[in-house]
Amino acid sequence: MQLTLEFGGGLELLCESVKIHNVNVDPAEDGGDKLTMKSLLAWVRTNLIKERPEMFMKGDSVRPGVLVLVNDCDWELSGQLDTTLEEKDVVVFISTLHGG
């Protein structure tokens, strides 16, 4: 499944400062033809996060302070970890900023 993953707000520093990743994730890993956010997160942690994984994840979800957007929509609105992804979806992980 072709997906575009984007990291921002400093999270890109965990994946070698690359903000946009065009990836191909096999939904079969999820035991079917659907890919959920839960398994995408596990995939990201294994394949894209190069350092300090605790700055990205906590348990099987993202750490506090990280917004997850599926096609420009807060994942809270689509079922969080249970959100199912489709071909060419864009998933954004962004850390909230505090500076000014």
Nearest distance in Å: CB 64, other proteins:
4
Nearest distance in Å: CB 72, other proteins:
5
Q: Annotate 48-60 with b (16+ C-beta within 10 A) or e (fewer).
A: bbeeeeebbbeee
Reading the block at residue 40, the tokens are 């995408």
> For residue 50, which amino acid is it?
K
Q: Is residue 84 within 8 Å of residue 3, measured between CB atoms?
A: no
The piece of 23-31, 37-45, 64-72, 81-89 that touches other proteins (CB under 8 A) is 64-72
Q: Is residue 11 within 8 Å of residue 49, measured between CB atoms?
A: no
Nearest distance in Å: CB 9, other proteins:
6
Reading the block at residue 37, the tokens are 């956010």
Site string for other proteins, 15-54 (x = CB under 8 A): ----x----------------------------------x
Positions that interact with other proteins (CB under 8 A): 8-10, 19, 54-55, 63-67, 69, 72-74, 76-77, 92, 94-100
